[in-house]
Amino acid sequence: MRKSHWIAGVLLMAAFAPVIAQQKGADRNVSWERELKETLAAAEIEGRVTAIGRPGDDRESFFKKFQEKYPKIKIEYTLMRPSNLAPRLLAEQQKSVFLWDVMVEGGNNVANVLKPAGATADIRDYLIRDPRVVGDSNWRGGFEDGYRLSDNIGIYSFAVSTSVGPYVNRDLVSKQELSGLKDLIDPKWKGKIVINDPRLPAHGQIMLASMAFAEGNEYIRKIMVDQNPVYVTDVRQLTQWLATGRYPIAIGADTAMLDNLKKKGVGKGVETLLTSGIPKTISGVTVNVFKNPPHPAAAKIFIHWMLGQEGQKAFSDQVGETNSRRVDVKEAEPESAPDWSRIQEYTFSLQRKTGLEALNMIGRMAKEIKQAN
């Protein structure tokens, strides 16, 4: 009798197993949906989120898309270069002043400066496990690749950009005169190259690190010493000089500013020094949350929107320049897209250890050269 009861019980459990599994799945769905609803309510009470992005009308247009989606959460954005932000942010945090919630882009500076200083939070703590956002099927290489592209330090690479080489003003320099990296060390270009100060973790340092990976450290030293370049801290000034022809070659120009100048008819002859010598240097386009964000719920809603299809499409449409890792967002620059199926095989990522070591090497070399002179 007991045996028959036991068999009946087993059969009953087997019969209802699919229903139980379905209910558990429903509970999980309700869990993230409830979290999203409650977080949004808390964010609307906070009433604002403070964000930082690179300068440019395109970045401003992007942030406004969030405001359109969430009118009850005012987005207060500051457009600032990461290299300018870092010292200010660290000084504020040392005084226990926490003004900022999130930053879009600036991954190299975050990985090399802010994260080691403990100025950022782990973005995992600000994710809502919405399968529409964190589901592997939504991302090229899977969702977790966004962490691995930055060596799992707690920032997220939602898109990828690739190094395109130094810039040349073709109104002044023909392709016959200058067609590859090795041509840059020709004595004829002495005094005609302007470089964004490579002592700082910014555009110039990034580009020189990529070039060093392709041509070696001695090649970089020849450019930085023998070619007697002009060093400029202000990347806007450097880009302006390149576009107007004051200097025909620039290392570390600002792409967004250059595009804006071209729209105004200035610097239309400027192009990248395309060369097979530069490897496709991977630079993750990142989003991160700062330590002790003043509006944690609103920061969480921003991250949820940013990594969703709507936020990624907004970034791709408004900013371009990079290729989103989401499969449901069209690549903005398909000609520069990496081989997504082999993304982890790229040997030089600016947010990984090898990339950070190269950046630090360039910084040290630049300081040594400056002191020697």
- Which pLDDT tens digit goes with each residue over 21-50? 333 333 445 599 999 999 999 999 999 999
- The mean pLDDT value for 253-263 works out to 84
Residues 235 and 310 in one domain: no
pLDDT average, residue stretch 161-188? 89
Q: What is the pLDDT of residue 185?
A: 95
Torsion sign, CA atoms 47, 289, 363, 181: negative
- State the CATH number of the domain containing residue 91: 3.40.190.10
The verdict on 221 and 249 lying in the same domain is yes
Q: How far apart are CA 309 and CA 312, in angstroms?
A: 5
In a domain, 362, yes or no: yes
Residues 293, 274 within the same domain: no
What's the sign of the alpha-carbon dihedral 108, 111, 117, 118? positive
- The answer to whether residue 188 scores a pLDDT higher than 60 is yes
Q: Share the mean pLDDT of the chain.
A: 85
233 and 365, same domain (yes or no): yes
Residues 148, 75 share a domain: yes
- Supply angle C-alpha 320, 280, 275, rounded to 5: 100
19 belongs to a structural domain: no
Contact 113, 205 (CB under 8 A): no
Q: Do 243 and 365 sit in the same domain of this protein? A: yes
Quick one: which of 316, 318, 358, 365 has its CA closest to 159? 316
Same domain, 364 and 229: yes
Q: State the burial class of residue 262 (Cβ atoms within 10 Å of its Cβ: 0-12, 13-18, 19+).
A: middle
| Better-scored residue on pLDDT, 237 or 14 | 237
For residue 215, the enclosing domain spans: 167-278+358-372
Residue in 175, 357, 185, 165 with CA at minimum distance from that of residue 252: 165
Q: Are residues 80 and 141 in the same domain?
A: yes
User: Do 153 and 185 belong to one domain?
Assistant: no
The sign of the CA dihedral 78, 82, 88, 89 is: positive
Asked if 75 and 153 sit in the same domain, the reply is: yes
Q: Let me know whether 95 and 114 are in one domain.
A: yes
Q: How many domains does the chain have?
A: 2
Q: What are the tens digits of pLDDT across the range 48-63? A: 999 999 887 888 999 9
**9 falls within a domain:** no
Residue 271: closest CA among 159, 336, 179: 179
Q: Is residue 352 part of a domain?
A: no
Q: Is the pLDDT of residue 240 over 70?
A: yes
- In the chain, % of residues over pLDDT 90: 54
